[in-house]
Structure 1
Amino acid sequence: MTAYLLNRLAVGAATLLVASLVVFAVLEVLPGDPARLMLGLNATEEAVAALRREMGLDQPLVARYLAWVGGMLTGDFGTSYTYSSPVTELIAERLVVSLPLAVIALALSTAIAIPVGIFAAARRGRAGDTLAMGAAQIGVAIPNFWFALLLIYVFAVGLRLVPAGGFPGWGEGWSGLWQGLGALVLPAVALALPQAAILARVTRSALLEVLGEDYIRTARAKGLPQRVVLRSHALRNAMIPVLTILGLQFAFLLAGTIIIENVFYLPGLGRLVFQAITQRDLIVVEGVVMLLVASVILVNLAVDLCYALVDPRLRTRRP
């Protein structure tokens, strides 16, 4: 188990290194000069050159890359060109929105998808299975931004149950907590339902594959009830593909909320990246992208550890 964990950590470190090279190289070849964009088209060449020196853009590419990576290793992601604030502070301010949003959406997605997948698998070929998978197919096909607009129209504009957008902050006490959660309800639902549709289909497929195994037929031949067969014998062995999708979904929910955060006007990581790209604030884009890459690697590592908990054979398997 220790060797397996060390191997996964080494692979994660190598992935981070390659990702840093790719992110830095891609952003460097993008057209446009950040210094000129900040000063405007009418700025003099002397002013642009002075700002480039201040931002370190006059240094060689290798020197800038090494300085950037070295800073990240010490927790210094640099200073935003646009906001004149440390990138770590900007990320920390936006994470208090994006991280709870991703966690709430993942919890909703899981709470909906796994029971629906089990329900459909237990009724394979019957009306319940057809209805559940038909609803899941609709959930996969509907774009989440269109679904978000529909939720705003019904629950915010029509029923006035929740705010249509914005984030009031977490405030103090239970009142501030409920206000913050209320602002995240509709975005979380808009993110969760399409992901729940995918996860429900995966859960159903994994369960059906396990239900065809010999030990399941043996359990049924012993007279065990269907619910016991599903819960005690089939579900745990079907969890590995489900865990894989859960890990990918959390990474997507954390990194792929740009559209939803803009629809609901949430000050999260997705909106920060969108604004930084439009303003050519490369240091912010690089920092946020590397943070998201690291989060994906950590989530995948956690999923690998969950594999070992679900399947004991992996604990003694060589990496």
Structure 2
Amino acid sequence: MLRYLLGRLVSLALSLVAASLVIFAVIEIVPGDPASYMLGLNASADTVAALRHRLGLNEALPLRYLHWIAGMATGDFGQSYTYKVPVADLVAQRLAVSLPLALYALLMAVLIAFPAGLLAAARRGRSADAAVMGATQIGIALPNFWFAMLLVLAFALHWQLFPAGGFPGWGDPLAGIRALTLPAVALALPQAAILARVLRSALIETLGQDYIRTARAKGLTVGQTMLRHALRNAMIPVLTIMGMQFSFLLAGAIIIENVFNLPGLGRLIFQAITQRDLIVVESVVMILVFAVILMTFLVDLAYAAIDPRLRKRA
């Protein structure tokens, strides 16, 4: 297990180095002057020169890269040109919205997908299976921003059960959860549909194995066989999808955050790009890449916990 863990850690470190090089190259080395881009076409030469000095753009590229990496390693992501505050503070404020929203939406997706996937696999070829698959097809095809607006019309404007937008902070946890409920539902629906279909397919494949037939021959019911034996062995593709979904929910909820006026990471990136705040873009993208790679690492560890053959193979 230790060898497997060390291998995954080395892979994580190499992935981070490769990602940092790509991000640095895209932001810093592409044609054009970052300082001129941030200030706009009408900026004077003295102003551009001052900003270049402030950003360290006059230094050699390898030195700039090392300073950037060293700063991120110590929590110093630089200062936003637009907001005039440290980027770390901006990220912390926005992460307090995006991270709970992603976890909330993923929890909803799991609570919907697992019963639906189990039911569809247990009733394969029957009306329940057809109903679940039809519902998941609608969930995948339905645009989440359109569904989000329907949720606002129904539950915020008509019944007034949840706020239509904005985030009050975590001073009142109940108010914060209420503000994130409709966005989480809008994000969870398509993810639950995808997860249910993957779970159904994995369970159906697993139910055809010899050890499942042996368990059934011993007198176990379909439900007992599925929960005790089939589900665990069908979890590897499901965990893969869940890891990808969490990464998407954390970084890719820009449209939903704009629909509900939520100050999250996705909206921060969108605003930073439109405001030409490249320091924020560079740092936040690297943080999101780290989150995706870390999630992949945790999924790999979950694989090893579920399937001992992976530990022995490593």
TM-score range, shorter chain: over 0.9
Query: Which position in structure 2 is the counterpart of 1:45?
Result: 45
Query: Which position in structure 2 is the counterpart of 1:307?
Result: 303
Shift of the alpha carbon at 1:34? 4.9
What pairs with 1:218-229 in structure 2 (closer than 5 Å)?
Answer: 218-229=214-225
Query: Which position in structure 2 is the counterpart of 1:284?
Result: 280
Shift of the alpha carbon at 1:30? 5.7
Letter in 1 for 2:273: I
Query: Which position in structure 1 is the counterpart of 2:58?
Result: 58
1:270 equivalent to 2:256? Answer: no
What pairs with 1:117-132 in structure 2 (closer than 5 Å)?
Answer: 117-132=117-132
Query: Which position in structure 2 is the counterpart of 1:316?
Result: 312
1:239 equivalent to 2:235? Answer: yes
Letter in 2 for 1:188: A
Gaps of 5+ in 1: none
Equivalent in 191, 194, 198 of residue 195 of structure 1: 191
Shift of the alpha carbon at 1:33? 4.9
Shift of the alpha carbon at 1:190? 0.6
Checking the alignment, whether the CA contact within 8 Å between 1:258 and 1:271 is kept in structure 2 is: yes
Shift of the alpha carbon at 1:269? 0.6
Return the TM-score normalized by structure 1: 0.94
Checking the alignment, whether the CA contact within 8 Å between 2:133 and 2:197 is kept in structure 1 is: yes
- SS of 1:316's partner is helix
Query: Which position in structure 2 is the counterpart of 1:86?
Result: 86
Letter in 2 for 1:241: P
1:259 equivalent to 2:263? Answer: no
Shift of the alpha carbon at 1:36? 4.1
- SS of 2:313's partner is coil
Deviations 1:121-176 (A, max 9, x none): 001011100010010011111121111111111111221111111101111xxxx1
RMSD over aligned Cα atoms: 1.5
Deviations 1:266-304 (A, max 9, x none): 011111111111111111111111111111111111111
Query: Which position in structure 1 is the counterpart of 2:143?
Result: 143
1:20 equivalent to 2:37? Answer: no
Checking the alignment, whether the CA contact within 8 Å between 1:37 and 1:279 is kept in structure 2 is: no
Letter in 1 for 2:284: V
Checking the alignment, whether the CA contact within 8 Å between 2:38 and 2:277 is kept in structure 1 is: no
Letter in 2 for 1:13: A
Letter in 1 for 2:285: V
Q: Evaluate the alpha carbon distance shift between residue 29 and residue 258 of structure 1 in structure 2; reply closer, same or farther with a 3 A threshold.
A: farther
Shift of the alpha carbon at 1:39? 4.6
CA distance in 1, matches of 2:43, 2:87: 26
Query: Which position in structure 2 is the counterpart of 1:72?
Result: 72
CA distance in 2, matches of 1:240, 1:43: 54
Q: Evaluate the alpha carbon distance shift between residue 37 and residue 27 of structure 1 in structure 2; reply closer, same or farther with a 3 A threshold.
A: closer
CA distance in 2, matches of 1:50, 1:29: 19
- SS of 2:200's partner is helix
Q: How many pairs align?
A: 314
Shift of the alpha carbon at 1:61? 2.8
Query: Which position in structure 2 is the counterpart of 1:161?
Result: 161
Shift of the alpha carbon at 1:63? 2.5
Letter in 1 for 2:259: V
CA distance in 2, matches of 1:302, 1:240: 12
CA distance in 2, matches of 1:182, 1:8: 38
CA distance in 1, matches of 2:164, 2:96: 19
Query: Which position in structure 2 is the counterpart of 1:183?
Result: 179
Shift of the alpha carbon at 1:254? 0.7
Query: Which position in structure 2 is the counterpart of 1:295?
Result: 291
Shift of the alpha carbon at 1:56? 2.0
